[in-house]
Amino acid sequence: MDIRPIQAMIRFGLGRRGCETLPADPMAWLRGQLRDPDPALALPISSSLAGLEAHRLDRELKPVEGQPHRTELLWKADAPIAMRNLAETGHPFRERMVWFWANHFTVSLRRGEVRPLVLPYVQEAIRPHVTGRFTNMLGAVMRHPAMLWYLDNHDSMGPDSPAGIRNHRGLNENLARECLELHTVGAAAGYTQADVTAFARLLTGWSVDMGTASPGFAFMPERHEPGAKTLMGQTFPEGQAGGEAALTWLGNHPATFRRVAEKLVRHFCADQPTAADVKRINDVLRQTRGDLKAATLAVLDLPSAWQPLTKLRSPGDFVIASMRALDLPEAERPDMLGLMNHFGQPFMNAPLPNGWPDTATDWLDGEMLLRRADWAMGVAAKHPTIDPMALADDSLGALLGERSRSAIMRAASRRDAVALALAGPEFQRR
């Protein structure tokens, strides 16, 4: 039996939805999703403009005591749209890539002020570039108000810039450092503190203008550190163009491609990627100058990407896959945000700018796995008519092992059986 159709849905997609048709040609199904424009670009999620305007209004007209902030209302309206899309999308491979990149370029709700901006950020800075060039995504991310606020660049001023001199203010190197360490070349590239500082100087003036009719990204020349800067041996000119050139250079750096290649292979093949697999994807990135579509498609051609169930489902993955497997009407769908939180991976809420980890070891907390089982029992109790064998067979197909299959079939009640189907070993993997 060909396991590739179900494997395509589990490994590369977000889990099979109910008994939706298995792709007859899994490769064509996956490639098609990267060829089509992303239908989720049309989701009615707020714009970052709306988020920034809400911020301004909240500040100017404080909400009446006990009333929610406008920014909070935006998040409350947007988050369910994102959840529904994850549970229902017919382009789950593309959607997985969106969240892969959103995690690579993490912004987190732990910085409260980015709350109304995180989902616009995904729509505006990540989603359009999933099949584009890495440098384009990097540029969009670094200009987005969510990232500029999250990593404090909006306030960074060149010490010798007019605004810096006037206000006795200086650099905030947070974004520059994380961009080097996390988003692009990585610490192993051997840059120094002087490079971090130089990059921070290059990015001075990259800020969020809240004073105009349409608040948003603005390059503020009076905050920009004058003069050319040298970053990792490369000299970049003064002005916004200098920062942009630096980002292009970093985004095409061999160390960046190597890290991106390793991250992609880790996400799709194995917690410990083989050097050969990483080299293959790295080669594609170098040959195409960072074409993410080409690199992602190349992952599909790696034999190791089709080794079944080598990856543990993160809590978020488990919640999404469960919703898709149960395929309940939206009114009865459990609270996905609450569940992601309960299982240890609150949505868009990574503790640090390096985002959520991507290996089994990071998610192998037994108590958290038991929570998945406890919840599965609750769902099974609430929906007593679910057919457990159909649930297991539809969601896992031939990937359901004999041991698990017989345990589900022999379970002492339908409720136990439904819970075991969702809490069993195969469903924890992808």
Partner 1 sequence: MHHPRSVLSRRATLLGLAAVATVRGISLALADAPGDQRFVVVILRGALDGLAAVVPYGDAALMGLRGGLVPKQPGTPEGMLDLGGFYGLHPAMPGLHGIYRAGGLLPVHAVSNGTGVRSHFVAQDHLELGSVKEEGITSGWLNRLAGLLARPGAATAKAGSESALAVGPSMPLLLRGPVPVGSWMPAGGGKIDPSFYAELAAMHGADPATGPAIQVALQERGFSAEALAGMAPMPNAGAFPALCAAAGRMLAAPAGPSLAALEVGGWDTHAHQAGRLPPVLKTLDDGLVALKDGLGEAWPRTVVLVVTEFGRTVRINGTQGTDHGTASVAFVLGGNVAGGRVGGRWPGLTGRNLFENRDLQPTNDLRGVAKGLLAQHFSLGDTALASVFPDSGTIPTMKGLLRA
Q: Which residues bind partner 1 (CB under 8 A)?
A: 312, 360, 364-367, 369-370, 373-374, 377-378, 380-382, 384, 388, 403-404, 407, 409-417, 419-420, 423-425, 428
Identify which of 302, 334, 252, 317 has the alpha carbon closest to the alpha carbon of residue 95: 317
Report in angstroms how near the CB of residue 377 gets to partner 1 at its nearest. 5
Task: Name the pairing type of β-strands 229-231 and 234-236.
Answer: antiparallel
Distance CA 235, CA 241 (A): 12
Residue with Cβ nearer partner 1 (47 or 359): 359
Task: Pull the structure tokens for residue 261.
Answer: 């290649």
**Cβ of residue 419: shortest distance to partner 1, in angstroms?**
7
DSSP H or E segment with residue 381? helix 366-382
At closest approach, how far in Å is the CB of 373 from partner 1?
Answer: 6
Residue number with CB closer to partner 1 (74 or 309): 309
Q: Which is nearer to partner 1, 275 or 370 (CB)?
A: 370
H-state helical runs in 144-239: 145-150, 162-167, 174-178, 193-202
Q: Least distance to partner 1 from the beta carbon of 317, Å? A: 14
Do 78 and 121 contact (CB within 8 A), yes or no?
A: no
**Complex with partner 1: residue 201 or 311, whichever CB lies closer:** 311
Cβ contacts of residue 287 below 8 Å, gap of 6+?
A: none
**Residue 259: which H helix or E strand, with range?**
helix 254-268
Query: 17 is written with which tokens?
Result: 């939805």
Alpha-helical runs (H) found in 17-65? 26-35, 48-60
For partner 1, the closer CB: 330 or 365:
365
Nearer to partner 1 by Cβ, of 327 and 416: the residue is 416
List the one residue out of 160, 212, 207, 203 whose CA is nearest residue 180.
203
Structure tokens at 173: 């190197």
Q: Least distance in Å: CB of 404 to partner 1?
A: 6
Dist. CA 255–CA 232, nearest whole Å: 12
Closest CB to partner 1 among residues 164, 315: 315
Q: Which residues lie closer than 8 Å to 334 by C-beta, 6 or more apart? A: 323, 328, 375, 379
Q: 171: alpha, beta or left, given left = phi > 0 and alpha = psi -120 to 50?
A: beta
Closest to partner 1 by CB, 220 or 407:
407
The nearest distance, CB 144 to partner 1, in angstroms, is 36
Nearest by Cα to 124 from 95, 103, 156, 102: 102
Q: Which is nearer to partner 1, 136 or 359 (CB)?
A: 359
- The least CB distance from residue 87 to partner 1, in Å, is 24
Q: How do the residues of the chain divide into helix, strand and coil, expressed in percent and rounded to 5? A: 60, 5, 35
Q: What are phi and psi of 321, to 5 degrees?
A: -65, -35
Q: How far is the CB of 342 from partner 1 (least distance, A)?
A: 15
Q: How far is the CB of 52 from partner 1 (least distance, A)?
A: 43
